[in-house]
Amino acid sequence: MRDVEVAVIGAGQAGLSGAYHLRRAGLAPDRDFVVLDHGAGPGGAWRNRWDTLTTETVNGVHDLPGMPWTRPARPRPVNTAVPAYFAAFERAFDLRVRRPVRVRRVREGPATGRLLVETADGTWSARGLINATGTWERPFWPYYQGSRSFRGRQLHTAGYRGAAEFAGQRVVVVGGGGSAADMLVDLVPVASAVTWVTRRPLDLMPGPFDEERGRASVAVIAERVRRGHLPGSVVSATGLALPTVVAEAVEDGRIALTRSFDRVTPEGVAWDDGRSVAADAILWATGFRPSVAHLGPLDLRERGGGIRVEGTRAVADPRVHLIGYGPTASTIGANRAGRTAVRELRDHLGGFRTATPTPAG
């Protein structure tokens, strides 16, 4: 068992921001704090995004603190460009991320006030915890009658690797969020038929995504997590920014946009009014849930299914901060949350106890 002041779980945008601010607060990496990450290498969830999601087509990746990202001159897949940037960041600030290490659970330690972070690589005992585990590892598959009977292929956004494998196929895309839109951009030129199914009429973002809209949508999600509800997706608060190619394809009928079906059949999907659509593949762009099962022993969950969070602090246990969670689940929000979490943890713990002298300020 190793003692640290703070354990950071996850080294995506959120965890790296937290680690950077711990370092700035005078904590030494791998001695005063530890960063544990399940990924095979740097990059967080960006490592797993598909090849056609590029530095040009993605909405925008915010800089990490203290090291602006030099965007490549020509478009590059985000699944290599962002990991390269994160790797350089980890090196520049000597963050010594330990990976691949999966945290199995976090529980109350026998010593007063300490949390035990248990992994296959051993246990860390910490006074504070920054949880930055994202959502990628918990894809959400809604239940539909008949799903198992489908003879074609079903996959979730988390398993999507590009449209090439759907060339000439009839594809049903389920979901009204940003991932569905990103995949439709790819699929329209290659699939033989595309049906886009959304639960509610499309909720489009009115006008550009400016600072004011950003603030308003963050406030909506912050209120949800303050009440202990599941955060919901960012798009559910902002509305969807529909790529022009997708809007045009809906307009001219290359994408058949329709409301949710009632069941899955061996051949495709069907509605109770007798309609059906035949499909070779169903793509579930139905979102993700926070990866927080390892925090189960701390009993943080509310009846609403979520963890009540004020700012970044878990209301039920102020030693625990969740960043990249709810209103901070974007690259810009994750950045800010790292700073807030470190400041609040330091205040809550009555200052950090470091093995090295702490600089003033």
Q: How far is CA 326 from CA 221, 229, 309, 311, 334, in A?
A: 6, 10, 9, 10, 10
By C-beta, is 45 or 222 nearer to ligand FAD?
45
Q: Does 324 bind ligand FAD (CB under 6 A)?
A: yes
The 10 Å Cβ neighbour count of residue 341 is: 30
The 10 Å Cβ neighbour count of residue 139 is: 17
Q: How far is CA 123 from CA 2, 105, 106, 115, 306, in A?
A: 7, 10, 9, 10, 26
By C-beta, is 267 or 317 nearer to ligand FAD?
317
The binder of ligand FAD chosen from 169, 238, 331, 335 (CB under 6 A): 331
The binder of ligand FAD chosen from 18, 29, 44, 175 (CB under 6 A): 44
| Residues 109-138 close enough to bind ligand FAD by CB under 6 A | 132-134, 136-137
How many chain residues interact with ligand FAD (CB under 6 A)? 37
Residues 6+ apart with CB under 8 A from 212: none
Q: Does 270 bind ligand FAD (CB under 6 A)?
A: no
Q: Does 159 bind ligand FAD (CB under 6 A)?
A: no
By C-beta, is 119 or 265 nearer to ligand FAD?
119
The binder of ligand FAD chosen from 76, 102, 107, 114 (CB under 6 A): 102
3-state secondary structure 45-68: HHHHCCCCCECCCCCCCCCECCEC
Q: x/- site string to ligand FAD, residues 51 to 70, per CB under 6 A?
A: -------xxxxx--------
Give the span between the Cα atoms of 326 and 313, in whole angstroms. Answer: 12
By C-beta, is 21 or 170 nearer to ligand FAD?
21
Question: Could you tell me if 138 and 291 are in contact, meaning their C-beta atoms sit under 8 angstroms apart?
Answer: yes
Q: Does 36 bind ligand FAD (CB under 6 A)?
A: yes
Question: Could you tell me if 338 and 5 are in contact, meaning their C-beta atoms sit under 8 angstroms apart?
Answer: no
Q: Does 186 bind ligand FAD (CB under 6 A)?
A: no
Sign of CA pseudo-dihedral 232, 235, 236, 242: negative
Helix H or strand E encompassing 179: helix 178-187
By C-beta, is 130 or 277 nearer to ligand FAD?
130
Query: How near is the Cβ of 333 to ligand FAD at its closest, in Å?
Result: 7
By C-beta, is 58 or 172 nearer to ligand FAD?
58
Give the span between the Cα atoms of 140 and 49, in whole angstroms. Answer: 16
Query: How near is the Cβ of 166 to ligand FAD at its closest, in Å?
Result: 17
| Residues 288-317 close enough to bind ligand FAD by CB under 6 A | 291, 294
By C-beta, is 10 or 175 nearer to ligand FAD?
10
Assigned token pair, 141: 């598959």
By C-beta, is 134 or 268 nearer to ligand FAD?
134
Rg (the chain; Cα; Å): 22
Assigned token pair, 274: 């007798």
Query: How near is the Cβ of 16 to ligand FAD at its closest, in Å?
Result: 7
Q: Does 19 bind ligand FAD (CB under 6 A)?
A: no
List interacting residues with ligand FAD (CB under 6 A).
Answer: 9-15, 36-39, 44-45, 49, 58-62, 101-103, 132-134, 136-137, 179, 182, 291, 294, 324, 329-332, 334
